[in-house]
């Protein structure tokens, strides 16, 4: 069948990797804050704000790198808000995250509306690596990917090294599992939690910027269409591990792209059902993970979602 | 914090760790602060917040029509808000009210399509039943995922929202599209026996009473029945409930099904009372606003009535500012801000102001002659 010919396979993989990039960045952001014990359900909202910041800045300045910087700032502003609510004010983390997402959905469409459908002025370019073209199959795939793909891979590897191979990462993992113990060992728990939530949120903002500057050509309300929530699921699926996150994100990128591809070849399947694919797979995958890890540790930081109150540590 | 000494009184702020109640005026302050916060964004975007807010207020409460519209929006919010509040009481984070609402609307419409020509009473009753069952079954999926597969119910219910909305699009674009509808993606308009009766000249309909009845029923059930006692025990201390031999899994499934069923009724009420047809626009984020409604009310049934009217007013006000060129999504922004000011304010309920009279002779304080609790 034509769908499985070499070229198509390559295109499919390239499309999956492109679709995976925003998911991967958002998932990494989620991993960071959840490793510090803070559930981030505001990912969807942070992506939207990152996207709208990048969109507006790219219209005003024609500079994609400035747009990226502002998306990082926008995301981290929401991250600071989430951290303030969850850590300082000790609110319920789930409700706080939902609040962030609702607020950001409204704010982003309020801000984006004033630019009424105009295109972002810049796109992030592809990174051409000509010598890779000489390697037959995989070389051709990796020779013309977008800059953001490489940046997201790079961030994932940096996070892996940071979390698992450094003293700092040891502190981070310790405090996700037992903040009281980490505190007694001299780790400043609140500072770590603030920092991780804000950096994580900045990554979510970057994910939003990727979406608008690489993936979707123009702004529309609810641009992320649930990708932030899929990222929340990917955090669980990847077992809070940055390298796993790369593969999980690409797998979900594949599901997303398959929908489009199947539609090209089988026009009689209504597109609505194909669009359900990523959401359905998310549920199925989570069910599978839950079933497999029944009565076993699933890699979740033990104190995830529990507010650490220093005055009440055991 | 250092105490203040004013006119022979010692005023200090102290922590009250067992206090979990938040006074109602704290919520009012939170709402006001949220509005001020949003005003900042409006200023940034070059709008005068006072004009915007007064426009919103007069749009929502300024006329009989506006008031009726506000109450109209409050109906689905009340039902969905009550639904999620029940689930939140036992810490089941159902944010799938949106999808359950859509499924309820779809099921109610299916009655009008497959069983047309029934009398008003039987068709409305059947539609209500269908809406409830569809919402409950959609929530049952969440319950199964949560209870037997250990899936985080937040993600699961949210994914089901997207699936339900896509399913709705499929129905209104393909099989259920009105053949005489000039290609409008929606079903045919309901017949008069399938519509909920409404007030003359206004759109406010019987659904308002249905919503109030649901809230009353819930309040009575929780207060006076065995099931309600179990629910309260589970919400107060899940471990105690488990050790007492309660079947927590079953309780979660029941609660989620009631929660989804209420959202399903909201969907039925919306198609039968307001839109009179199934179309893509049937849901405009009621399921998400319901989360704010529930939290603003602190999961209290009476509070849900008040907070859903408030959120209804914000939505209607959001429509009226469209006339001066602002997007209606501003309503969502204001609601989100209200939510995190309310939850942020909760920490202050752990503190109280202590006022002590210092006796002048001994120059030391008497033991708390008067304690004012904040």
What integer is the mean pLDDT of A66-85? 93
Decide if B45 touches A, using CB distance below 8 A: yes
pLDDT at B66: 87
CB contact under 8 A, B346 and A291: no
Residue B92 inside a domain? The answer is: yes
pLDDT beyond 90 at B347: no
Q: Could you tell me which of B74, B54, B50 has the C-alpha nearest to residue B62?
A: B54
Q: Which residues of B touch A101 (CB under 8 A)?
A: 336
- What is the C-alpha to C-alpha distance for residues A50 and A60, in angstroms, rounded to an integer? 15
- b vs e for B327-356, b when ≥16 Cβ sit within 10 Å of the residue's Cβ? bbbbbbbbbbbbbbbbbbbbebebebebbb
CATH of the domain at B311: 1.10.3470
For residue A146, give the 3-state DSSP assignment: strand
pLDDT beyond 70 at B184: yes
Share of chain A above pLDDT 70, in %: 96
On the 0-12 / 13-18 / 19+ scale of CB atoms within 10 A, A221 is: middle
- What is the C-alpha to C-alpha distance for residues B153 and B141, in angstroms, rounded to an integer? 10
Number of domains in chain B: 1
The answer to whether B242 and B248 are in contact (CB under 8 A) is yes
Residue B28 inside a domain? The answer is: no
Confidence of residue A6 (pLDDT cuts 50, 70, 90): low
pLDDT beyond 50 at B44: yes
What integer is the mean pLDDT of B218-239? 88
- What is the C-alpha to C-alpha distance for residues A95 and A227, in angstroms, rounded to an integer? 19
pLDDT beyond 70 at B297: yes
CB contact under 8 A, B337 and A111: no
Which residues, 6+ apart, have CB-to-CB distance to A251 below 8 Å?
A: none
The answer to whether A209 and A68 are in contact (CB under 8 A) is yes
What integer is the mean pLDDT of A259-264? 75
What integer is the mean pLDDT of A72-77? 95
What integer is the mean pLDDT of B298-306? 89
- What is the C-alpha to C-alpha distance for residues B251 and B87, in angstroms, rounded to an integer? 10
What integer is the mean pLDDT of B306-329? 85
User: How many other CB atoms are found less than 10 A from the CB of residue B196?
Assistant: 24
- What is the C-alpha to C-alpha distance for residues A247 and A231, in angstroms, rounded to an integer? 13
Q: What is the pLDDT of residues A46-70, one digit of tens each?
A: 999 999 999 989 888 888 889 999 9
pLDDT at B364: 47
CA of residue B241 relative to chain centroid, distance: 27
Q: Which residues of B touch A105 (CB under 8 A)?
A: 329, 332, 336
* Helix A277-292, helix A227-237: angle, nearest 10: 20
Share of chain A above pLDDT 90, in %: 36
pLDDT at A203: 96
Decide if B255 touches A, using CB distance below 8 A: no
Residue B9 inside a domain? The answer is: no
Segment among A253-257, B272-276, B279-283 with least mean pLDDT: B279-283
Higher pLDDT, A255 or B372: A255
Q: What is the DSSP string of B93-113?
A: ----HHHHHHHHHHHHHHHHH
Q: Could you tell me which of B226, B254, B248 has the C-alpha nearest to residue B86?
A: B254
ipTM exceeding 0.90, yes/no: no
Q: What is the DSSP string of B193-221?
A: GGSPPB-TTS--BTHHHHHHHHHHHHHHH
Q: Which of A279, A289, A310 to mutate to test the interface with B (most CBs of B within 10 A)?
A: A279
Decide if B288 touches A, using CB distance below 8 A: yes
Residue B340 tokens, joined: 């995190």
Q: Which residues of B touch A290 (CB under 8 A)?
A: 145, 149-151
Q: Which residues of A touch B151 (CB under 8 A)?
A: 283, 286-287, 290
pLDDT at B292: 87
CA distance B289 to chain A (A): 8
CA of residue A48 relative to chain centroid, distance: 12
CB contact under 8 A, A102 and B154: no
The answer to whether A126 and A144 are in contact (CB under 8 A) is yes
CA distance B291 to chain A (A): 9
CA distance A76 to chain B (A): 17
Q: Which of B150, B166, B343 sits opposite A290 (nearest CB)?
A: B150
For residue B370, give the 3-state DSSP assignment: coil
CA distance A203 to chain B (A): 20
Decide if B140 touches A, using CB distance below 8 A: no
Length of chain A: 314
pLDDT beyond 90 at B25: no
Size of interface A-B (CB pairs under 8 A): 142
For residue B277, give the 3-state DSSP assignment: coil
CB contact under 8 A, B329 and A113: yes
Residue B36 inside a domain? The answer is: no
Q: Which residues of B touch A41 (CB under 8 A)?
A: 154
CA distance B276 to chain A (A): 24
Range picked from A256-270, B31-45, B138-152 for highest mean pLDDT: B138-152
Residue B342 inside a domain? The answer is: no
Interface of B with A in 198-217 (CB under 8 A): none
Domains of chain A: 2-117+146-296 (1.10.3470.10)
Chain A residue with minimum CA distance to B341: A85
Q: What is the pLDDT of residues B63-75, one digit of tens each?
A: 888 898 899 999 9
pLDDT beyond 50 at A1: no
Q: Could you tell me which of B126, B110, B106, B129 has the C-alpha nearest to residue B118?
A: B126
Determine the Cα angle at A113 with ends A273 and B286, to 5°: 55
| Domain assignment of residue B294, given as a range | 48-325
CA distance A230 to chain B (A): 8
pLDDT at B369: 47
pLDDT beyond 50 at B100: yes
Q: Which of B288, B291, B327 sits opposite A110 (nearest CB)?
A: B327
pLDDT at A2: 45
Q: What is the DSSP string of A2-19?
A: GGGSHHHHHHHHHHHHHH
Range picked from A269-278, B258-267, B294-303 for highest mean pLDDT: B258-267
The answer to whether B218 and B82 are in contact (CB under 8 A) is yes
Residue B19 inside a domain? The answer is: no
């Amino acid at each position: 069948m034509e769908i499985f010919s070499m070229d198509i396979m390559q295109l499919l993989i390239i499309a999956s990797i492109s679709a995976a990039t925003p998911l991967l960045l958002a998932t990494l952001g989620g991993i960071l804050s959840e490793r510090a014990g803070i559930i981030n359900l505001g990912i969807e909202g942070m992506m939207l704000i990152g996207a709208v910041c990048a969109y507006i800045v790219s219209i005003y300045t024609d500079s994609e790198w400035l747009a990226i910087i502002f998306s990082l700032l926008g995301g981290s502003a929401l991250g600071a808000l989430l951290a303030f609510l969850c850590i300082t004010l000790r609110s319920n983390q789930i409700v706080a995250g939902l609040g962030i997402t609702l607020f950001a959905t409204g704010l982003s469409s309020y801000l984006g509306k004033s630019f009424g459908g105009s295109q972002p002025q810049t796109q992030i370019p592809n990174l051409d690596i000509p010598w890779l073209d000489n390697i037959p199959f995989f070389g051709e795939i990796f020779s013309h990917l977008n800059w953001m793909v490489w940046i997201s891979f790079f961030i994932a590897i940096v996070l892996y090294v940071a979390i698992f191979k450094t003293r700092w990462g040891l502190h981070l993992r310790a405090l996700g599992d037992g903040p009281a113990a980490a505190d007694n060992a001299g780790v400043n728990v609140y500072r770590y939690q603030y920092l991780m939530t804000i950096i994580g949120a900045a990554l979510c903002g970057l994910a939003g910027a990727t979406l608008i500057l690489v993936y979707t050509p123009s702004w529309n309300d609810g641009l992320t269409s649930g990708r932030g929530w899929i990222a929340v699921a990917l955090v669980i699926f990847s077992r809070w591990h940055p390298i796993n996150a790369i593969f999980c994100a690409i797998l979900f990128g594949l599901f997303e792209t398959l929908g489009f591809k199947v539609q090209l070849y089988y026009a009689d399947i209504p597109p609505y059902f194909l669009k359900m694919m990523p959401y359905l797979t998310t549920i199925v995958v989570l069910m599978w993970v839950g079933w497999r890890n029944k009565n076993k540790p699933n890699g979740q930081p033990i104190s995830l979602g529990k507010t650490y109150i220093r005055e009440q540590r055991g | 914090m250092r105490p203040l000494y004013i006119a022979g009184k010692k005023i200090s702020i102290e922590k009250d760790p067992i206090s979990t109640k938040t006074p109602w005026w704290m919520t009012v302050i939170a709402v006001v602060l949220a509005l001020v916060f949003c005003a900042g964004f409006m200023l940034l975007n070059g709008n005068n917040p006072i004009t915007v807010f007064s426009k919103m207020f007069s749009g929502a409460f300024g006329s009989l029509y506006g008031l009726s519209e506000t109450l109209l929006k409050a109906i689905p919010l009340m039902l969905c808000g009550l639904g999620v509040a029940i689930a939140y009481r036992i810490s089941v984070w159902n944010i799938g009210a949106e999808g359950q609402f859509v499924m309820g609307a779809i099921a109610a419409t299916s009655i009008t399509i497959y069983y047309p020509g029934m009398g008003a009473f039987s068709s409305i009753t059947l539609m209500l039943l269908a809406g409830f069952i569809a919402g409950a079954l959609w929530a049952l999926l969440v319950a199964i995922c949560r209870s037997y597969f250990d899936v985080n119910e937040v993600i699961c219910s949210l994914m089901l929202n997207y699936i339900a909305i896509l399913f709705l699009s499929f129905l209104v674009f393909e099989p259920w599209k009105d053949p005489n509808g000039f290609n409008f993606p929606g079903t045919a308009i309901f017949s008069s026996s399938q519509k909920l009766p409404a007030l003359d000249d206004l759109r406010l309909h019987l659904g308002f009473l249905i919503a109030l009845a649901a809230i009353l029923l819930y309040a009575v059930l929780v207060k006076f029945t065995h099931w309600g006692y179990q629910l309260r025990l589970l919400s107060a201390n899940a471990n105690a409930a488990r050790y007492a031999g309660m079947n927590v899994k079953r309780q979660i499934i029941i609660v989620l099904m009631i929660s989804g069923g209420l959202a399903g009724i909201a969907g039925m009420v919306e198609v039968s009372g307001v839109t009179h047809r199934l179309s893509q626009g049937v849901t405009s984020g009621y399921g998400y606003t319901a989360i704010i409604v529930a939290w603003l009310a602190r999961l209290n049934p009476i509070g849900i009535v008040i907070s859903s009217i408030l959120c209804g007013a914000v939505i209607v006000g959001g429509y009226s500012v469209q006339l001066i060129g602002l997007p209606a999504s501003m309503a969502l922004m204001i609601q989100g801000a209200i939510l995190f000011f309310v939850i942020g304010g909760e920490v202050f309920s752990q503190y109280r102001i202590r006022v002590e009279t210092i006796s002048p002779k001994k120059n030391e304080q008497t033991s708390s002659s008067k304690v004012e609790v904040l």
